[in-house]
């Protein structure tokens, strides 16, 4: 069995050795530098605050640098009852967060990219009011984190594929 594992590992190494020219997305310094130079403008409210924080973390925001891009976000939220008990009280909810973004080059304000991500997740709702509120807020945070991750990935791919970079 051990010999089979070693042979499989050797075959995998040989197969991956033929991937000439492969470069990880974040190994490109321009991608990292340009992500860090995005100023995020999120709507007011709890979810707007959360997604802006997650995006600043994901982009490794450089607060000392002059922004090369400004991102304007529009958020849409919906909550649907899913697990309904016999007394018509929901025990489970589906939370949907839609984040539409527009990326503009600075200082010109020219449109650089636009996109949209949609995150759907579920959470349990307890009979105790505090526990129910806590579960809903946790769902908002998890959805904002996932939306930020998807936006980060879309922008990183866009930048790596030769996006026009704003002049600083």
Domain contains 131: yes
pLDDT band at 81 (very low <50, low <70, confident <90, very high): confident
pLDDT in tens, 15-57: 555 555 666 666 677 888 888 999 999 999 999 999 999 999 9
Domain contains 46: yes
**pTM (2 d.p.):** 0.79
Domain contains 153: yes
Long-range contacts of 132-136 (CB under 8 A, 24+ apart): 136/79, 136/93, 136/95
Counting the structural domains of the chain, the total is 1
pLDDT of residue 90: 77
Spell 69-102 as b/e; 16+ CB within 10 A means b: bbbebebeeeeeeeeeeeeeebeebbbebbbebe
pLDDT of residue 65: 83
DSSP 95: E
* The length of the chain, given as a count of residues: 168
CATH for 100: 3.30.160.150
pLDDT of residue 41: 95
Domain contains 59: yes
Per DSSP, the three-state class of 75 is: strand
Domain contains 84: yes
Domain contains 17: no
Per DSSP, the three-state class of 61 is: coil
pLDDT reading at 168 higher than 50: no
Q: Which residues pair with 40 in a beta bridge?
A: 71
Task: Tell how strand 90-105 and strand 69-84 pair up.
Answer: antiparallel
Domain limits at 33? Answer: 24-160
Cα within 13 Å of Cα(139), Cβ side: 23
DSSP 109: -
């Amino acid at each position: 069995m051990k010999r089979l594992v070693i042979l499989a590992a050797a075959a995998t190494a040989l197969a991956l050795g033929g991937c000439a020219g492969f470069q990880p997305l974040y190994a490109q310094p321009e991608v990292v530098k340009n992500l860090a130079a995005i100023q995020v403008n999120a709507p007011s409210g709890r979810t707007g605050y959360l997604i802006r924080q997650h995006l600043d973390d994901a982009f490794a925001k450089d607060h000392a640098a002059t922004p090369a891009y400004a991102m304007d976000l529009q958020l849409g939220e919906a909550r649907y009852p899913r697990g309904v008990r016999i007394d018509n009280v929901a025990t489970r909810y589906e939370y949907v967060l839609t984040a539409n973004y527009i990326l503009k080059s600075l200082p010109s304000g020219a449109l650089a990219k636009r996109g949209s991500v949609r995150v759907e997740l579920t959470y349990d709702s307890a009979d105790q009011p505090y526990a129910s509120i806590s579960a809903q807020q946790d769902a908002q945070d998890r959805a904002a984190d996932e939306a930020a991750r998807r936006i980060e990935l879309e922008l990183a791919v866009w930048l790596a594929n030769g996006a026009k970079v704003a002049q600083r």
